[in-house]
Amino acid sequence: MIKEDDAARIVAGLTVLLLPVMGVFTIIPLAVIHYLFAPTRTLSISLALLLLLRYSLGFTGLDLPMYVVAIAFVIPTLAQMASRRFDGLNGSMIYITTTIALGYPVAIMTSPELLPEKVLLLSMLGGLSGAFLHHVSRERDFIVPFGTCMVMWLFSFDYPLPELGRIVLLYSFALALGLGAYWARAADVDAVISEVIICILVVLYAGLSWFLLLLCFYLMGGLFTHYKFARKRELGIAQSRGGVRGYKNVYSNSLVPLALAICYGIYGSELFVFAFLGSVATANGDTLASEIGQTSKSGPRMITTLKPVVPGVDGGVTYLGEGAAVLGSLAIGLLALATGITGLIGVPVSLLGGFLGTNFDSLLGATLQQRGILSNNGVNLLATLFGGVVGGLIWVALWR
């Protein structure tokens, strides 16, 4: 039998059917659910607040589309119920699939004039972000509806989209890569979902060739994480969980390149191409510098004082690590050249941006990370931003 709180969650989800008729007044049945079923009170309040937020924004000239709110109703209710008996990757796939299967028709029901390509894309993003937030958040009944609604709203602006079949193909491609990383034990479930989101958005706004640069970083990072892994484990500096990457690692290294790819799709400036190269080259160069440099027979030295330190200390650098940083940065530049993202100029841009960004990472590790001000993920984020700035400045210097 269905438990009372499960039944209440389903009923809350079904209130989405009232949106085309009642609009903001759907808060009335939500209030009834809130009164009758204590376990779903946070959820009913969250859904009601989304409706009030949409209504209030109308007075400011901003538009939170009703179809976005409708999909956000489905995610923490019906999609969550469909996946609740499953754990891990299986549960996430059911969560995402249910969101797409139900979110698509309710969005069309709410706004019949919508292009099907747009509805499908937003349903995908809603399902992916919902599955991710369901895993990582504690206050799911608040974070999931608001978080997914904001993600979908962010990408609900008018933008030329590929045809429906190509969006499905893109989703399938991104999902296949993510599943491959999971089965290869290179990423956990949350990292897989994060990589799928990043793949879809980068390919959609900048093109497949741009994502291939990020894919190069993911593959080389996974490969060299296992380089002399036994030796690194003996020294106590090997990656935790056998080298399986989590979502924090994915976002700290990919968030800046993702933003630059989206900006390129919107504005089309070559500035974002150069910045993207510097940012991804930094991520790749830094990863190789860490994973290869830590195995150097000559001990590392602190980048700020050049005094010897033990392997694994934040801010320690080696000649081998510096060479690995050059190799990782060069790989991104050569791939950018091979895929036609840039001409020959992309190679020195990647080299300089990646090398400087990698050493900026070490500098932050020796200072702010050592003092506990930044985590390793925070250092990675700022380093990729620095590498992107270096690439952007090169563009400015050449074409100002």
**Chain center to CA of 95:** 18
The confidence score (pLDDT) of residue 206 equals: 96
The answer to whether residues 93 and 172 touch, using CB atoms and an 8 Å cutoff, is no
- Is 227 part of any domain? yes
Q: Could you tell me if 153 and 222 lie in one domain?
A: no
- 23-82 tens-digit pLDDT: 999 999 999 999 998 888 999 999 999 999 999 999 998 999 999 999 999 999 999 999
Q: Could you tell me if 138 and 3 lie in one domain?
A: yes
- Is 323 part of any domain? yes
Q: What is the average pLDDT across 363-377?
A: 93
Nearest CA-CA partner of 191 in 147, 249, 140: 249
The confidence score (pLDDT) of residue 6 equals: 84
Q: Could you tell me if 94 and 152 lie in one domain?
A: yes
Q: 65-79, 103-117, 241-255, 263-277: lowest mean pLDDT where?
A: 241-255
Q: What is the average pLDDT across 336-364?
A: 96
**Chain center to CA of 133:** 12
Looking at per-residue pLDDT, the higher value among 286 and 38 belongs to 286
| Rounded Cα distance, 342 and 328, in Å | 18
Query: What's the first-to-final CA gap in the chain, in angstroms?
Result: 69
Q: What is the number of other CB atoms lying within 10 angstroms of the CB of residue 384?
A: 29
- C-alpha triplet 234, 239, 240: angle, nearest 5°: 95
The confidence score (pLDDT) of residue 314 equals: 87
The confidence score (pLDDT) of residue 344 equals: 95
- Is 186 part of any domain? no
Q: Could you tell me if 102 and 235 lie in one domain?
A: no
By residue range, what is the domain housing residue 73?
1-159
Number of compact structural domains in the chain: 2
- Is 4 part of any domain? yes
Q: pLDDT > 90: what percent of the chain?
A: 76
User: In 106-128, which positions are buried (b, 16+ CB within 10 angstroms) versus exposed (e)?
Assistant: bbeebbeebeebbbbbbbbbbbb
The confidence score (pLDDT) of residue 254 equals: 96
Q: pTM for the whole thing? A: 0.93
Q: pLDDT > 70: what percent of the chain?
A: 95
| Rounded Cα distance, 43 and 271, in Å | 43
What tokens were used for 177? 């890569």
Residue linked to tokens 């830590």: 294
Q: Could you tell me if 135 and 278 lie in one domain?
A: no
Helices then strands, each counted (H, E), the chain = 18, 2
Q: Could you tell me if 266 and 367 lie in one domain?
A: yes
The confidence score (pLDDT) of residue 235 equals: 57
Q: Could you tell me if 155 and 220 lie in one domain?
A: no
For residue 238, pLDDT over 60 is answered with no
- Is 178 part of any domain? no
The answer to whether residues 140 and 131 touch, using CB atoms and an 8 Å cutoff, is no
**187: three-class secondary structure by DSSP:** strand
| Rounded Cα distance, 54 and 248, in Å | 31
Q: Which of 99, 129, 159 is the last residue of a domain?
A: 159
Q: Could you tell me if 231 and 372 lie in one domain?
A: yes
- 243-255 tens-digit pLDDT: 678 899 999 999 9
- 295-334 tens-digit pLDDT: 777 888 999 998 988 877 888 899 999 999 999 999 999 9
For residue 133, pLDDT over 90 is answered with yes
Nearest CA-CA partner of 46 in 148, 149, 146, 154: 146
89 class by beta-carbon count within 10 Å (0-12 exposed, 13-18 middle, 19+ buried): middle
Q: Could you tell me if 153 and 216 lie in one domain?
A: no
- Is 183 part of any domain? no
226 class by beta-carbon count within 10 Å (0-12 exposed, 13-18 middle, 19+ buried): middle
- Is 203 part of any domain? no
For residue 236, pLDDT over 80 is answered with no
The confidence score (pLDDT) of residue 232 equals: 59
Binning pLDDT at 50, 70 and 90, where does residue 184 land?
confident
Looking at per-residue pLDDT, the higher value among 120 and 227 belongs to 120
Query: What 8-state DSSP symbol labels residue 239?
Result: P
Q: What is the average pLDDT across 141-159?
A: 95
Q: What is the average pLDDT across 218-246?
A: 69
- Is 177 part of any domain? no
The confidence score (pLDDT) of residue 239 equals: 59
Nearest CA-CA partner of 389 in 279, 247, 291: 279
For residue 215, pLDDT over 60 is answered with yes
Binning pLDDT at 50, 70 and 90, where does residue 229 land?
low
Q: Could you tell me if 123 and 221 lie in one domain?
A: no
Q: Could you tell me if 314 and 385 lie in one domain?
A: yes
Q: Could you tell me if 399 and 299 lie in one domain?
A: yes
| Rounded Cα distance, 269 and 116, in Å | 29
What tokens were used for 56? 């209030």
Residue linked to tokens 């937020």: 53
Average pLDDT, the chain: 91
